[in-house]
Structure 1
Amino acid sequence: MQNNNKQGVLLVNLGTPDEATAPAVKRFLSQFLHDHRVVDMTRWLWCPILHGVILPIRAPKVAKLYQTVWMEDGSPLMVYSQRQARKLRDLLDMPVELGMTYGNPSLQTGVEALLAKGVEEVIVLPLYPQYSGTTTAAVSDGLTKAFKNIPVMPSFKFIRDYHEHPLYIKALASSVRRSWEEKGRGDYLLCSYHGIPQRLADNGDVYPKHCERTTELLGQELGLTKEQIGMTYQSRFGREEWLKPYTDKTLEALPAKGIKKLDIMAPAFSSDCLETLEEISEQCCEIFEENGGTSFSYIPCLNDDDLHIEMMAHLIKS
């Protein structure tokens, strides 16, 4: 039976500060780190630590890092997300709006913008290829809150993940081949994924399995052996154990194993952001070269690449 409801798309990403200033970063981090999905510590214990120690120290430091990657039109994540939405809107010829789990535009703002255009069925596409309770499920939580404030809730469809979608793998492989053509090919391709606490995986989060599957399929698509491609986890925070192997520790060890020329990419990020442009491209490069690496090539995220947009369109149509 044909669905005659007018459809629209809500593209969702994590979010970003409005400005590269300490107050804006503090506002953003406060909302982000208050989410139980991100930090599940008891609130009476966590909130004094967050507001008394972490935010006052971390916000000014993170703001300075943002200043190094900030673009003319805003933060990289926002600039690329806006480009993705525009391209997808043109390709699908239907309303497409952005909504961020944290910061602006909010999920509620995105949904309301779609409803104002007469949309009755919202297709929600969180731009997290690999599912995790810390990211994808947080979008679902945020939508539930947003719908509470909307008089008539629209029907909606939720795309949970696309970690092994053939078009996603082809888009990743295309970005690697393009880098090889432009900058030459390294000895090894390292896929660095954003980490989560090991405890969450032990409790059933499928995120590491999805990351492993993406890496396996990418290796197959590129014709790489297990000695030519690997995966690690970055951006750990706090003292508890996170998913291993850690990106920084791996980069320290690779040159001693004869891998002096490295290609590195971040398949879990759909848009370049602080964690890719500053942490990987700059910090990780320094670590690798300080330990004997001679060539470090960062392969950008898929951003608004045409193959990436085509993959999104395919997910939405199907």
Structure 2
Amino acid sequence: MKGVLLVNLGSPDSPTPKDVKPYLDEFLMDERVIDTPQWLRNIIVRGIILRTRPKKSAEAYAKIWWKEGSPLIVISQRFAEKVGKLTKMPVALGMRYGSMTINKALQELNEKGVDEVLLVPLYPHYAMSSYETVVVKTIQEQQENFPKIKITTLPAFYKNEEYIKVLSESIAKGLKGFDYDHILFSYHGIPERHIRKNDPTRFHCKIDGNCCNANSVAHHTCYRHQCFDTTKRVKAYLNLHENKVSNSFQSRLPNDPWLKPYTDFEFERLAKEGKKNLAVVTAAFVSDCLETLEEIAMEGKNQFQEAGGENYIHIPCLNDDDAWVEVMAKWVNEWEKNGALPV
């Protein structure tokens, strides 16, 4: 019997330092998130970051927390329920970090008699700190606890035509009535070394402004290229003016080169260049979360306006939009019927 496992990032159980601390510990101690030797990761995370970050992060979570709970969890649950109504297969939801574990989701499917699972990392792009860690963790759980279950993984869908269509039309809906000067596609940042580590050729990814445009097998696992490609495809679909669209990368740790340009720097630059009306798209995420609702929708707006900008909107993620649900249901049903995966 076949079933579907949807996996998103995760969330602390409450917006309190007590619950945020163990969540951050699990997240930041992941070797695919902070990819240093474990002894150094221990010093960075447990000796430095966790001494101050839980309180600050809890305050940020409190700003965006819903009555029903964490926005990321609530949205993901709504999405999973809607997909479940459009397929005959059992659909389970797990999180890479936090109490809604992948193990629990696999156990739920196992108890329903599922022995073949389609794993769906809810990330459009391939990165070792998001897509890859979900796949690795799921396979580890399967091998250790559910050896009779077969896992098939949905590929990163950043350039799939059906995904680009629903993303583009969602953006167009968000832009309706807003006379923008500029649209900034803000993707989640990752360290530059992650790009080089995921380069199977070991020489293509130079992050020099040219490599992302030159055809290479490296693009299959290059987060930077995939982000730029998503923007390019949306821009073409919506016929957006070349000079009114740009990319940036949000979130980073200090003293380490991460993908550029940095989103917060772009807010200031665009405002000082005279852009008064800015729309921001967070296309690295399919579900709104702390990084979109607090970092971009709230803090980003403040940064842009303090630098001289005036009107600012954050366009919501796809969340549980019916058109997005229908696309995902189509993908899982095609896999159930004939083993086909989207390209």
| Aligned match of 1:11 | 6
| Aligned match of 1:86 | 81
Matched ranges for 1:1-318 at <5 A? 6-181=1-176, 183-203=177-197, 204=199, 205-316=221-332, 317=334, 318=340
Distance 1:151 1:94, change over 3 A: closer
Cα distance in 1, alignment partners of residues 40 and 224 from structure 2: 28
Among the aligned pairs, what percent are the same residue?
Answer: 40
Q: C-alpha displacement at 1:170, in angstroms?
A: 1.2
Q: C-alpha displacement at 1:127, in angstroms?
A: 0.5
Partner amino acid for 1:141? V
Q: Per-residue CA shift, 1:256-283, capped at 9, x if unaligned?
A: 3232101111001111000000000011
| Aligned match of 2:212 | none
Partner amino acid for 1:241? P
Cα distance in 2, alignment partners of residues 153 and 67 from structure 1: 41
Distance 1:151 1:225, change over 3 A: closer
Q: C-alpha displacement at 1:50, in angstroms?
A: 1.6
| Aligned match of 1:3 | none
Partner amino acid for 1:114? L
Q: Per-residue CA shift, 1:291-317, capped at 9, x if unaligned?
A: 111110110010000111112122222
Q: C-alpha displacement at 1:74, in angstroms?
A: 0.8
Cα distance in 1, alignment partners of residues 175 and 146 from structure 2: 52
Whether the 8 Å CA contact 1:187–1:260 is kept in 2: the answer is yes
| Aligned match of 2:205 | none
Greater mean deviation of Cα atoms: 227-236 or 146-155? 146-155
TM-score (ref. length: structure 2) = 0.88
Cα distance in 2, alignment partners of residues 122 and 38 from structure 1: 25
Q: Per-residue CA shift, 1:85-116, capped at 9, x if unaligned?
A: 00000011321111111112111111110111
Cα distance in 2, alignment partners of residues 46 and 150 from structure 1: 28
Partner amino acid for 1:263? A
SS of structure 2 residue aligned to 1:101: strand
Give unpaired runs (5+ residues) of structure 1. 1-5
Partner amino acid for 1:228? K
Cα distance in 1, alignment partners of residues 258 and 149 from structure 2: 38
Q: C-alpha displacement at 1:217, in angstroms?
A: 0.1
Whether the 8 Å CA contact 1:185–1:263 is kept in 2: the answer is no
Partner amino acid for 1:94? M
Whether the 8 Å CA contact 1:19–1:74 is kept in 2: the answer is yes
Deviation >6 Å, runs of 4+: none
Cα distance in 1, alignment partners of residues 159 and 17 from structure 2: 38
RMSD of aligned alpha carbons? 1.3
Aligned residues: 312
Q: C-alpha displacement at 1:284, in angstroms?
A: 0.7
Whether the 8 Å CA contact 1:266–1:276 is kept in 2: the answer is yes
Whether the 8 Å CA contact 1:194–1:268 is kept in 2: the answer is yes
Partner amino acid for 2:191? P
Cα distance in 1, alignment partners of residues 90 and 56 from structure 2: 38
Cα distance in 1, alignment partners of residues 75 and 146 from structure 2: 32
Give unpaired runs (5+ residues) of structure 2. 200-220, 335-339
Q: C-alpha displacement at 1:136, in angstroms?
A: 1.1
Whether the 8 Å CA contact 2:175–2:315 is kept in 1: the answer is no
Q: Per-residue CA shift, 1:180-239, capped at 9, x if unaligned?
A: 22x423111111000000121133250000001000000001101221211110011131
Q: C-alpha displacement at 1:151, in angstroms?
A: 4.8
Distance 1:161 1:151, change over 3 A: closer
Whether the 8 Å CA contact 2:79–2:325 is kept in 1: the answer is yes
Whether the 8 Å CA contact 1:124–1:158 is kept in 2: the answer is yes
Whether the 8 Å CA contact 1:167–1:307 is kept in 2: the answer is no
| Aligned match of 2:203 | none
